[in-house]
Structure 1
């Protein structure tokens, strides 16, 4: 019959047990079944574990299975996997350690009650075995995830703390080496372990999909390792170990900032900010000029974690013991952010930066600043944010409007100088306009800074271009939304080899272009697509590992090895590219890319 219900004839079928309508029978049967799972010698065992994994993934807050012994079951399966190699290689049992550790991590993700049950079930020593690399990077990924969840709760942190020294060392090593490991053992090889490929893609998508998922998983492995370190650092545990030596690991963190592959995690900058909340952490970070430099670069970028970079610098500058170790480099970046009003859900960021840089209690200590340019920049901030504000507050509306009109006239004069190729004179006019233009007229100041940045770029002065474009982006509402300034700064970052910063600006530039269009099919300028492609290649997660392997091969005499094709990770496949030449002679492209002396300003 068409609607006749099909009955399972198998005894103790797990899938039938899960459908049992009688709650008391269901509870008792599931409890007994979970106890018996580790002793099952069945080819379909992995199907049962896979179903349990699906339940854990889709219903992580459901307490039924955790209360009925799921953690004891998974602990027994892990123990058997780690100590019985013959069983592990039988049937499809090779998949089980991954599923078991993942189930533990999913059920402990949000519920402290489940975390306590997992600890009581003895999962920590078994997860540590996976973390040590007893199997492979695939199992390390889910083990560090589970340990990170267990370490997140006060009630269960002490159980992890017993293994503190080893856990911290293993997490640091994983965070620093996992990308190279995944590339060397998976992405960079032709013959891959079948079970790993299946776990990554469920058998769908082929090599290209495997590579995409491997990139995602490697990033997660790195970010979860950092999260586990965060759990110790936030309690000011193992700070000397994390900051040991000459800051080698701190330097490594600068290349682990989440990013395009893992949007949800701040990665290394999150740990650096946590360290900056402690006296020991601030001291060690202030001694690492490479770290401070990278935090400064983040603070002026359009990265989602820009505010974390600013937080770190403010914390370092407020500490008397670290202020003068970082103030010279920090001031050169923060001076461009003092007119920033808000960032995300944070307000008065520019005011906070100004107050930090001009702290009265440190005024008598300014003699410690060796670089006279830094003193000049501090005076510039004082003039812009304090003295100028005082003057403008007592100025009549008519007088303010008069100054605004004069600033606009200077901008027009600057535009004329620009169009005839007198770039230096154009810069002077824009600068005079900025001196005259009242602070309250932020949109006018955006245009002046942006035009000035364009001139800096034409003069091959990327530092000045970045500075002026950053000031324009701080003045616009919302911040980092002015399309022309984003594109200028993206090119300036590119000139300095700052691929990530250039990429982020270019992506926001494209977003700004699409928001300004009303029709469905949006055409993105070809030059922006080129920049995206270039920087995505440079920012590929496995680029460093790939280059290292190529260098090793070349050293061994294999000089003709070709670079691995990374076109699959360039992304942005939904972009409709604008043709290279819009007219027969490429006139439209030339209007955008005209050389010095004839380049058109968008802000005319």
Structure 2
């Protein structure tokens, strides 16, 4: 029976008020019913018996329709109150237990939509999550997480479990599977990018790709290029949602030792979400949660890869820059981890001590300075290496001695301030002239003198001086000094990270160091600051293109696959076996 004949049946049923025992033929007709009592009864019957539907096409269309409702209005209580969670649980169980049914026609879409609907309705409201747990959704979702079907279903299953684990009232239901769920989330976060690349993106023929995966990714529209873009987005989401699920356990101080596995932490430092999923803090969110616990700080401080990631993030224009700074400050405040991370982090954080505010964190630069200078004038400060003492001494002179001296000399003395400003301008002009004739060392000396004389109060002038000296350092080949000066300039800019010249210089410096992610973000910020209404210059577009290729989510998987193919080709040409024989066994 089609939709139009269903509508006539519904009208007749409505005239005769036959509701009890009547199962409507079309869910869409039920949704058009105006009488609230009739609509409620029919919806309840439809949801109760949906898993027994024999028309696989109608079931797929119905689930797609419910999914759209859930995504558009996840706080609408109509379907959750009438048994949508019980319905989705039955469909999940049937899809997992009845292989013949799920492989018939379009029934293969049912588990994906069922898990997605559960995740959408539990996204915002605690009471919906309680209903979902009471309906038995946890067990089939964990089964999908185990990889019972494919990465496509894993994506929506880990999303739903992440929402359920976010609430105090339903966390316990997820925690009943704690060891397995945490281990699976870690494995998925680590391997999902490679899996999606191997099983989908690397397959360049439409016939070789799983059809329902292609249909779900693009809703049947678009070619291979669009499918690849969506697959990248979904792979990033699968990784980030797995990390969010781990966040929920770490926040409750659960499974910290398991999550802080040395091998996992090393891989965690590279999970940044990519530009396709920029709204998620990805790995940095989990690292920050770990840094809130003493046990977590101990493990994080022992991971050199994570410390370097945090240091580079703290000196970037990334949206999550403040999280990197927060993590380093937490590690530095803890006496048991301070001396493990200070030697590396001090040379990054000293460039940030003039930050005024960042992401609603006022006086962040002063907080950084106070944490770095802890125990500086005490016996504990004597254990610092010569390099650390030199850096802290320089910081002490700027933040304490020079600030105090300038306050005394220039408090209310506008004439003195103007006179100093004129002298600084003259020295800057001399530096610019030396730069024009190619005398980089002479220019750098002049900039150093100008910066030492320029009052701390003149933030914009000092920003310009640091930026110019950073450019000189880059031309001179001192990349680290260029990054340091540009970072100081960007801290002085208002708002923070908005000085175009410094962003472009630092982007080039990061490119030279091979820090593609940091270079890309700086270049994007540079374009947004300088060319908001005009065309993007060729040199910036070229840099963005280069770094986007280098930071492509599947780049490492592609390189590994290419390396493996070359090895196979080499072994084939030389006649070597690609199978490693067990030791002690002789060839037959």
Does the pair score TM above 0.5? yes
Pick the aligned partner of 1:345 from 329, 339, 360.
Answer: 360
Give distance in 1, aligned partners of 2:376 and 2:435.
45
- The alpha-carbon distance between structure 1 residues 212 and 559, as it changes in their structure 2 partners (threshold 3 A), is farther
Pick the aligned partner of 1:121 from 114, 127, 135.
Answer: 135
Give distance in 2, aligned partners of 1:545 and 1:242.
23
Residues 259-296 of structure 1, C-alpha deviations (whole Å, 9 max, x = no match): 31111100000100111110001111111111111100
- The alpha-carbon distance between structure 1 residues 89 and 558, as it changes in their structure 2 partners (threshold 3 A), is farther
Residues 81-123 of structure 1, C-alpha deviations (whole Å, 9 max, x = no match): 0011110111210011000000000000001111001101111
Pick the aligned partner of 1:293 from 300, 308, 322.
Answer: 308
Give distance in 2, aligned partners of 1:536 and 1:314.
31
Pick the aligned partner of 2:110 from 92, 96, 104.
Answer: 96
Q: Secondary structure at the match of 1:18?
A: helix
Give distance in 1, aligned partners of 2:320 and 2:488.
18
Equivalent residues of 1:553, 1:559 under 8 A apart:
no
Equivalent residues of 2:328, 2:345 under 8 A apart:
yes
Equivalent residues of 1:168, 1:238 under 8 A apart:
yes
* Residue 42 (structure 2) pairs with residue 29 (structure 1): yes
Equivalent residues of 1:8, 1:16 under 8 A apart:
no
* Residue 414 (structure 2) pairs with residue 402 (structure 1): no
1:59-458 alignment, distance < 5 Å? 59-190=73-204, 191-244=208-261, 247-360=262-375, 363-370=378-385, 372-395=386-409, 396-458=413-475
Q: 1:559: how far off?
A: 9.9
Pick the aligned partner of 2:548 from 536, 553, 557.
Answer: 536
Q: Secondary structure at the match of 1:426?
A: helix
Corresponding pairs, count: 549
Give distance in 2, aligned partners of 1:148 and 1:367.
47
Give distance in 2, aligned partners of 1:159 and 1:523.
53
Q: 1:8: how far off?
A: 4.5
* Residue 33 (structure 2) pairs with residue 16 (structure 1): no
Q: 1:368: how far off?
A: 2.1
1:566 alignment partner in structure 2: none
Q: 1:408: how far off?
A: 1.3
Q: 1:46: how far off?
A: 1.0
Pick the aligned partner of 2:501 from 481, 484, 490.
Answer: 484
Q: Secondary structure at the match of 2:32?
A: coil
Q: 1:397: how far off?
A: 2.5
2:17 alignment partner in structure 1: none
Q: 1:362: how far off?
A: 7.6
Give distance in 2, aligned partners of 1:14 and 1:558.
59
Q: Secondary structure at the match of 2:336?
A: helix
Equivalent residues of 1:513, 1:524 under 8 A apart:
no
- The alpha-carbon distance between structure 1 residues 82 and 506, as it changes in their structure 2 partners (threshold 3 A), is same
Equivalent residues of 2:236, 2:274 under 8 A apart:
no
- The alpha-carbon distance between structure 1 residues 23 and 9, as it changes in their structure 2 partners (threshold 3 A), is closer
2:517 alignment partner in structure 1: 500
Q: 1:6: how far off?
A: 10
Equivalent residues of 1:148, 1:231 under 8 A apart:
yes
- The alpha-carbon distance between structure 1 residues 361 and 420, as it changes in their structure 2 partners (threshold 3 A), is closer
Equivalent residues of 1:88, 1:94 under 8 A apart:
yes
Give distance in 1, aligned partners of 2:5 and 2:462.
73
Equivalent residues of 2:460, 2:493 under 8 A apart:
yes
Give distance in 1, aligned partners of 2:508 and 2:55.
60
Give distance in 1, aligned partners of 2:358 and 2:340.
27
Equivalent residues of 2:7, 2:29 under 8 A apart:
no
Give distance in 1, aligned partners of 2:318 and 2:107.
43
Q: Give the aligned CA root-mean-square deviation in angstroms.
A: 1.6
Task: Report which of the two has the higher share of helix.
Answer: 2
Residues 43-73 of structure 1, C-alpha deviations (whole Å, 9 max, x = no match): 3211111111111111110011111110111
Equivalent residues of 1:324, 1:368 under 8 A apart:
no
Structure 1 outlier segments of 4+, above 6 Å: none
Give distance in 1, aligned partners of 2:373 and 2:34.
70
Unaligned runs of 5+ in 1: 561-604
Equivalent residues of 1:273, 1:308 under 8 A apart:
yes
